[in-house]
Amino acid sequence: MTYVAPNSIQARDIASIVHPQTNLAQHMTQGPTVIERGQGCFIYDDSGTEFLDAAAGLWCASLGYASERLARVAYEQMRKLGYYHLYRGTTNEPGVDLAEKLLSIAPVPMSKVLLQCSGSEANDTALKLVWYYHHAIGKPNKRKIIGRQMGYHGSTTASISASGKFDMHADFGLPLAGFFHTEYPHYYRNHLEGESEEQYATRLADAFEQLILREGPDTVAAFIGEPVMGAGGGLTPPRTYWEKMQAIIRKYDMLFIADEVICGFGRTGNMWGSQTYDLQPDMISSAKALSAGMQPISATLINQRVFEAMLDESRKLGNFAHGFTYAGHPVTTAVAMETLRIYEEMDMIGHVQRVGPYLQKAIGALADHPLVGEVRGVGLLTGIEMVANKETREQFDPARKVGATVDKHARANGLIARFVGDRIAFSPPLIITEAEVDQIAARLTKALDATWAEIRSN
Ligand SMILES: Cc1ncc(COP(=O)(O)O)c(C=O)c1O
């Protein structure tokens, strides 16, 4: 049990806040870590301890943790128009500026933008629009949604149903009916002896098609997927995977939602993950780096086919009966727009293309470590798979909590990464420098060595 001083922030937190993704019972005795401030890629707790954040918070703090420039934009916007909504045909200039900008940089022709406050809401909106679209075109039975095991699309009722994070369904009575999950595209872990990446991708596309046939193509409405899986462990797809999956999506006349919440705005070395993997989505969900994580905003981009169906519904029903109070909030859109300007001025894509390979090489060098089975990534996103046996790819017994042990040692060495079971994902702020990448690798090496020593001593 950790000592928690009376009236400390820790004590007040325990008495007042329910934390996401936290063991609440443990939290009552251990209390929180208090993060006090941030600068560049570093955050500092209330005792002044520094952490190099190789996770960019939750994949979002693309410009690091403090920005005078974005603060000024938020301040000026709050003085001019600190709130208004988009309901009943009202608008404001920052919202229009941002929507135009997003349409101009979209990876495939897109027609319109819907604004929300989070990635979950962006995906929830996209899922509702899938149903609305099929209704409008006279196929109301086409309602089933297919996501992937270990895919993550958010915590709202529909977006978590589309997600294949089964720990997040447990005891909530989820997923909702009509949501299905096809294979986790993890080549290293799941390929058969002698099976190439291409053959593995074919096997996964076949499994996807079998699921559609089993459920009935006339009832299957859409597929949702992240170009690179984030909460699935920073997992890049096997070669030819997307090409084969998209052929099946088209064959059964499904809509394709690309969840670009993590990949959008440079993470994979292009503006969009859809460009890195040649995706042709009907809808795109974006958030996180859209505002460098500094304002809660998300955008759902939809193509003309979807918008035409929505127009038909308005002609029929007299209204698009959907909306959020804070959709198109002028402060969030102004900050997002400025964020996109900063990316352009800094040539952020060029920066990721230069530093990304450096990160892949630095973390990739750890492939020889006795705990590491595979290192694989793209741009400024990479994942490490830790294994009990490098020859057989056998995983550790989850009860050994190897990931949690590395996490403990990483934090003790001032490093934050994202742990998903025994996978470690890295997605540092996009502004990270080569010198900071060296620090990630050095601190990680210490954490892996300490874990390896602990495992051997047990
Ligand atoms: C790919 C992806 N989609 C959606 C979400 C949900 O976004 P939010 O937490 O802003 O609701 C996340 C969050 O991590 C994500 O990684």
CA of 155 to the centre of ligand 1 (A): 8
Of the pLDDT bands very low, low, confident and very high (cuts 50, 70, 90), residue 272 is very high
Across 208-235, average pLDDT: 98
Neighbours of 398 (CB within 10 A): 11
Assess whether pLDDT exceeds 80 at residue 258: yes
Testing ligand 1's pocket by substitution, the residue of 152, 155, 163, 260 carrying the most ligand atoms inside 8 A of its CB is 152
CA of 289 to the centre of ligand 1 (A): 11
Of the pLDDT bands very low, low, confident and very high (cuts 50, 70, 90), residue 458 is confident
> Which DSSP symbol is given to 235?
B
Check pocket membership of 381 for ligand 1, CB cut-off 6 A: no
pLDDT of residue 95: 98
* Contact between residue 139 and residue 216 where contact means Cβ atoms under 8 Å apart: no
Ligand 1 closest atom vs CA 59:
14
> Which DSSP symbol is given to 172?
T
Assess whether pLDDT exceeds 80 at residue 1: no
Assess whether pLDDT exceeds 80 at residue 341: yes
| C-alpha span between 264 and 106 (Å, rounded) | 10
Across 131-139, average pLDDT: 98
- For the entire predicted model, the pTM comes to 0.98
- Between helix 68-81 and helix 330-346 the angle, nearest 10°, is 150
Ligand 1 closest atom vs CA 263:
1
3-class secondary-structure state, position 179? strand
CA end-to-end span of the chain, whole Å?
A: 23
| Residue bearing the CA closest to ligand 1, atom 7 | 119
Neighbours of 350 (CB within 10 A): 11
- Between helix 330-346 and helix 348-364 the angle, nearest 10°, is 70
| C-alpha span between 324 and 82 (Å, rounded) | 16
Task: Domain 69-346: state its class.
Answer: alpha beta
Check pocket membership of 152 for ligand 1, CB cut-off 6 A: yes
pLDDT of residue 2: 84
Q: What is the domain partition of the chain in residue ranges?
A: 33-66+348-457, 69-346
Ligand 1 closest atom vs CA 156:
11
Assess whether pLDDT exceeds 90 at residue 392: yes
Check pocket membership of 262 for ligand 1, CB cut-off 6 A: yes
Tokens of 34: 């208090």
- Between helix 119-136 and helix 304-317 the angle, nearest 10°, is 70
* Contact between residue 86 and residue 318 where contact means Cβ atoms under 8 Å apart: no
- CA-atom Rg of the chain in angstroms: 22
Check pocket membership of 230 for ligand 1, CB cut-off 6 A: yes
Assess whether pLDDT exceeds 80 at residue 75: yes
| CATH superfamily placement of domain 33-66+348-457 | Aspartate Aminotransferase, domain 1 (3.90.1150.10)
Tokens of 146: 């297919």
> Which DSSP symbol is given to 234?
S
* Contact between residue 57 and residue 20 where contact means Cβ atoms under 8 Å apart: no
Instruction: List pLDDT tens digits, range 2-60.
Output: 899 999 999 999 999 999 999 999 999 999 999 999 999 999 999 999 999 999 999 99
* Contact between residue 85 and residue 325 where contact means Cβ atoms under 8 Å apart: yes
pLDDT of residue 68: 98
Each as own residue / partner, the long-range contacts of residues 384-390 (CB below 8 Å, 24 or more positions apart, any chain) are 384/423, 384/424, 384/425, 384/426, 385/188, 385/189, 385/233, 385/422, 385/423, 386/422, 386/423, 386/424, 387/422
Comparing C-alpha atoms, which of 365, 381, 392 is closest to residue 54? 381
